[in-house]
Homo-oligomer: A and B are copies of this chain.
Amino acid sequence: MHDATGFKQRVDTYLRRLADEEEAELLRLSGELVPLCVQLRRSLTSGKRLRAAFLYWGWRASGQPDCDGVIKAAAAMELVHAAACTHDDIIDDSRLRHGLPTAHVAFADGGVRMGGTAVEQPGGIRQDRCAGLAMMLGDLLMGYAGKVFATCGLPGAYVARTVPLWSALLRETIAGEFLEVLRTGNAVPGVAESLEVARYKTAKYTVERPLHLGATLGGASRDVLAAFTAYGLPLGEAFQLRDDLLGTFGDPARTGKSNLDDLRDRKPTALLALTVSLLTPEDGRLLTKTLAGPRLDESGAALVRELMEHSGARRRVEDMIEERIARARAALDSVALPADARAALGALATSAADRTL
């Protein structure tokens, strides 16, 4: 539904062309940069383009027409996301994303493929250096984001008024990540603290700010911006809560990522916080003991999943998602919007909450 204009394909096409151009530029500097190019392309050619969709519909909701400029601006948002994912995967030491090895894991693999040809790393890349290489890939992606947004072709005055929003997006996202890292692996925080992290790290970053960026580019009214906050924060929290469920109960073959990592790291999710608060003291001790072990295995994870189910926490998280989606939908009804934008944002709310990957 939100892809009625084929805009996802247009974002993908633009990013593929960017990968072509940047690969040529990098290889002009040195043929040894092949592994960087391979990972760069991977980073640019997958993703749901959800943040791009919110930016796009923020623009359309402000009454602006479809155009190439907004596609490029939306692509810049995806570049920010590609950079953030690359750095996030290093922090979490995640092994898989979209079913493929993450950048720092791929660099450590010692050989990469470009086109159909295997390219060997002379001597292999030292394991302890691969996170550094992936960090640089993320830095490069973030730089592309700045370039693409600055040259998207929309009027300079439109672009200029988004500067404070980009600052806010970055500050909030990093604050959320920072708080999550501080709290990960420590005593399980309460549900409120978990939702605080989710608000900064996901709700503002994934939904509210991309909508604000598009709407501010388009010159939307304060009412529209306020409605996008009222829609974006609950929807974004729902998105994170769904992500938490998929990160523990999801099928890796469908989600393309591990369903053990969150538990192993004792990620301070609302799901875990709720489980702790709902268990009997005895089951609580069992949970703590299971999670405290040196490296959680499949049978330990199965036990934790059982406790999450049996305590009613999983069901409660589903209820929280439903309640938040309803609030997001109600916010859409509180403001005048073009019919196609309203329909697309309604569909995005459904798909974000019901997704299986």
CA distance A23 to B152 in the complex (A): 31
Which one of A4-12, A58-66, A176-184, A281-289 contacts B? A176-184
Q: Given A87-B139, A136-B87: A166 and B146 within 8 A (CB)?
A: yes
Stretch in A24-32, A208-216, A310-318 touching the partner: A24-32
Given known contacts A142-B142, A160-B156, A185-B126, is B29 in contact with A175 (CB within 8 Å)?
Answer: yes
Could you mark each residue 88-99 of chain A with 1 if its beta carbon is under 8 Å from any beta carbon of chain B, else 0? 001100000000
For A139-152 the 0/1 string (1 means CB < 8 A from B) is: 11011101100110
Per the bound structure, the CA–CA distance linking A144 and B142 in Å amounts to: 12
Q: Are B181 and A129 in contact (CB under 8 A)?
A: yes
In the complex, the chain B residue whose C-beta lies closest to that of A124 is B186
Q: How far is the CA of A156 from the CA of B157 in the complex (A)?
A: 9
Q: How far is the CA of A144 from the CA of B168 in the complex (A)?
A: 11
A and B contact pairs by CB, cutoff 8 A, 14 listed: A26-B175, A29-B172, A30-B179, A32-B178, A32-B182, A33-B175, A33-B178, A36-B174, A36-B175, A83-B139, A87-B135, A121-B182, A139-B174, A147-B167
Give the interface of A toward B (CB within 8 A).
22, 25-26, 29-30, 32-33, 36, 83, 87, 90-91, 121-123, 125-126, 129, 131-133, 135-136, 138-140, 142-144, 146-147, 150-151, 156, 160, 163, 166-167, 170-172, 174-175, 177-179, 181-182, 184-187, 196, 200
